[in-house]
Structure 1
Amino acid sequence: MSPSPTPLVDRFGRRVNYVRFSVTDRCDFRCLYCMSEPMTFLPRARVLTLEELAILGRAFVELGAHKIRITGGEPLVRRNVLWLFQELGRLREHGLAELVLTTNGSQLERYAADLQAAGVARLNISLDSLNPDRFRRITRVGELAPVLRGIRAAQTVGFQRLKLNAVILKGRNHDEVTDLARFAIDNGLDISYIEEMPLGVIGDHDRAEAHYSSDAIRADLAQTFTLIPSTESTGGPSRYYRIPGSETRIGFISPHSHNFCGDCNRVRVSAEGRLLLCLGQEHSVDLRHVLRAHPGHQERLKQAIVAAMAIKPRGHEFQLGGQPVILRYMNHTGG
């Protein structure tokens, strides 16, 4: 079934057809750009149930959304989360074109085959370093080897596309930009380089000092590879380049140096059920309240989603200096 037109249009004429669900704020890593240490997680009663997430998925698809991405935290640490993937996968019969997952890869060796069978088409896998010691420092607790095994498992089961996500920080991993690209090319993977998102108060580093721009990354890559601009899109904010003789796409997500707000087609639902109209603003609607105050009223839920489009802002107000504008952490928001 081809995707239907969406009534989800904001006041700037942008059509929203892509929704990201954070299914948990919990994670088995503690990445220094994502959360503070220690981290206080949401009480379970405040987190949407899997059944509520499935109801939301159907509502968005009925409103014309044709892409759903599952994020966290780390989605695969959520108990019984495979059931949700199976439920959302069935929405392909009702207009959903693509179900995708962002993961840190730690649980992929266990879940890859079941995710593919449930209907997950593509995976984004976080990989910020190929050095085990550095990987552990960036994630604070993570081990590289299980992630690499997870990538191999995902390659084996045959997802449509696999992409690496690398958040690049000056003085932490900026010297691995070329090595990460070579790893992606050698393994037939795409890769996107991401400028750090200034969400939450992070005491580990100064974001302005650690900022490493997409332009700097591209200049590093250009010393080794020929980068050809591409018009390809996966429906998100990445701007892609191709390398002659390779199937790998090199992407750049640049909230600071190349703002991607003008053609934004996305909204997010946080782990506690807030419909976030912008990653970098606090405009939101409490969908958990709608779900729990009016159980079974799908039309009321859809009306709340459509009405929320009126408060979707023109763009974010990210800044590198001073205190962050947005105090919620990335793991609460959905990475």
Structure 2
Amino acid sequence: MNHINPLQQAELVPVFQDQFGRNKRKLRISVTDRCNFKCVYCMPEHPEWMKKHDFLSFEQLYHFCEFMVRRGIEQIRITGGEPLMRQGIVHFIAALQQLKKIGLKRISMTTNGHYLKQYAAELKQAGLDDLNISLDSLDTEQFEQLTAKKLQPVLEGIQAAQKAGFPIKINTVLIKGMNDDQILPLVHWAQREKVELRFIEFMPLDGDQNWARSRIVSEQEILDQLATEFDVQIGQSQAANPARTYQIDGMSIGIISTITHSFCGNCDRLRLNAQGEFFNCLFAAQGLKLKDSIQQLQQGTPFAEPILQQQLHAYIWNKAAGFDAIQAQQKQLKPSHKIHSNFRKISMHMIGG
């Protein structure tokens, strides 16, 4: 990769902002749609994989990240699918360290944890700052029903990440009737392991489109369960974070309640998938195809930067107010014009959540 010269200061470029005045500070990069898990809230039973030759190269992703950091992005999160399934990911994270010289503050990763026992030390050495790890149940049989994989490698991966010195957040997607009995066991486990735990409401991004509101375990229902054993106090201000935090016995618990108590009003996130489609919202009905523009950027084609700037400015500016606004807009459309009942034909494994 052609690294930037940190001594060459770029001209001041305006931060990307949407029509509601929300500045964009966080970029999520999905480096692959492949995953070795089949989580019921994410992966379809029979996924149609993107063609690998359509993936943006790591060099192209690097140039796009540099472009975005110069326009206000402070945090980059690497997602998938499962990001550790893409060969070369550790070297990509190491290369991104160069961008900390021009304003990048954090490089994070979201993973299912299965390969962390193998990669944790390398990721730490490459400069990765923190990890979010999915863990939807501590019950071995239930975990396998949810993911089609064994629990033990994930627990070993979490231990390896702790040994490597990573700050860790555990993400648990709750589905009524499937794993809502895991709230209290996971809290007790997180207390023992000294990791931050976040519960996430089931969202309409499952691969086979079986989502229903009746299967949501709401923020209030989570709090009611916690209150049976703990004194629950409201934590620090949410600001632009997706999780509302609560304190129980000196421990922080987060709840991401996209459906029942949306955090969209302060959203500062943008997303790019592995084949160069850009999304201004997790639930955006349409993405922006940027692969050609990113290729031109990498090749140093004249006017590539202003063209990409113009494309992104218009698309980001028109970002909707949030989940509720998109849902209301969908209800107003004629049936033939709707994306589908779950907003669009894309599941979480293709965009990284």
Q: Number of paired residues?
A: 327
Is 1:253 matched up with 2:256? yes
1:10 deviates by 1.0
Q: Greater shift after overlay, 44-53 or 293-302?
A: 293-302
Q: Name 1:158's counterpart in structure 2.
A: 165
Q: Name 1:69's counterpart in structure 2.
A: 77
Residues 77-123 of structure 1, C-alpha deviation per residue, up to 9 Å, x if partnerless? 00111111111122112211111110000011111111112221111
Structure 2 counterpart of 1:242, one-letter code: Q
CA distance in 2 between partners of 1:240 and 1:329 (Å)? 27
1:240 deviates by 0.7
Structure 1 counterpart of 2:341, one-letter code: Q
Match of residue 262, structure 1, among 261, 265, 289: 265
Q: Name 1:58's counterpart in structure 2.
A: 66
CA distance in 2 between partners of 1:132 and 1:118 (Å)? 32
Contact 1:60 1:302 in 2 (8 A): no
Q: Greater shift after overlay, 98-107 or 322-331?
A: 322-331
Identity of aligned residues (%): 36
Secondary structure, aligned partner of 2:300? coil
How has the CA–CA distance of structure 1 residues 200 and 126 changed in structure 2, closer, same or farther, with 3 Å as cutoff? closer
1:236 deviates by 2.9
Q: Name 2:228's counterpart in structure 1.
A: 223
Structure 1 counterpart of 2:46, one-letter code: P
Q: Name 1:143's counterpart in structure 2.
A: 150
Structure 1 counterpart of 2:71, one-letter code: L
Which aligned pairs between 1:187-266 and structure 2 lie closer than 5 A? 187-200=193-206, 202=208, 205=210, 207-233=212-238, 235-244=240-249, 246=250, 248-266=251-269
Q: Name 1:7's counterpart in structure 2.
A: 15
CA distance in 2 between partners of 1:186 and 1:52 (Å)? 42
Match of residue 179, structure 2, among 173, 184, 189: 173
CA distance in 2 between partners of 1:13 and 1:151 (Å)? 38
Structure 2 counterpart of 1:125, one-letter code: I
Match of residue 323, structure 1, among 323, 328, 341: 341
CA distance in 2 between partners of 1:94 and 1:26 (Å)? 31
Is 1:313 matched up with 2:313? no
1:36 deviates by 1.0
Which aligned pairs between 1:40-51 and structure 2 lie closer than 5 A? 40-51=48-59
Contact 1:100 1:122 in 2 (8 A): yes
Contact 2:80 2:349 in 1 (8 A): yes
Secondary structure, aligned partner of 2:265? coil
How has the CA–CA distance of structure 1 residues 149 and 6 changed in structure 2, closer, same or farther, with 3 Å as cutoff? farther
Residues 204-227 of structure 1, C-alpha deviation per residue, up to 9 Å, x if partnerless? x55233221111011111111222
Q: Greater shift after overlay, 187-196 or 321-330?
A: 321-330
Structure 1 counterpart of 2:219, one-letter code: S
1:173 deviates by 0.4
Secondary structure, aligned partner of 2:246? strand
RMSD: 2.2
CA distance in 2 between partners of 1:311 and 1:48 (Å)? 25
Q: If the length of structure 1 is used for normalisation, what is the TM-score?
A: 0.91
Which aligned pairs between 1:17-166 and structure 2 lie closer than 5 A? 17-140=25-148, 142-159=149-166, 161-166=167-172
CA distance in 2 between partners of 1:236 and 1:290 (Å)? 30
1:303 deviates by 4.1
Show structure 2 runs of 5+ residues with no match: 1-5, 7-11, 332-339
1:200 deviates by 4.9
Contact 1:86 1:119 in 2 (8 A): yes
Structure 2 counterpart of 1:255, one-letter code: T
Q: Name 1:277's counterpart in structure 2.
A: 280
Q: Greater shift after overlay, 300-309 or 126-135?
A: 300-309
Q: Name 2:350's counterpart in structure 1.
A: 332
CA distance in 1 between partners of 2:156 and 2:309 (Å)? 41
Secondary structure, aligned partner of 1:143? coil
Is 1:287 matched up with 2:290? yes
Structure 1 counterpart of 2:281, one-letter code: C
Contact 2:32 2:83 in 1 (8 A): yes
Residues 216-263 of structure 1, C-alpha deviation per residue, up to 9 Å, x if partnerless? 01111111122211125595311111223x3x3200111111011111
Contact 2:26 2:74 in 1 (8 A): yes
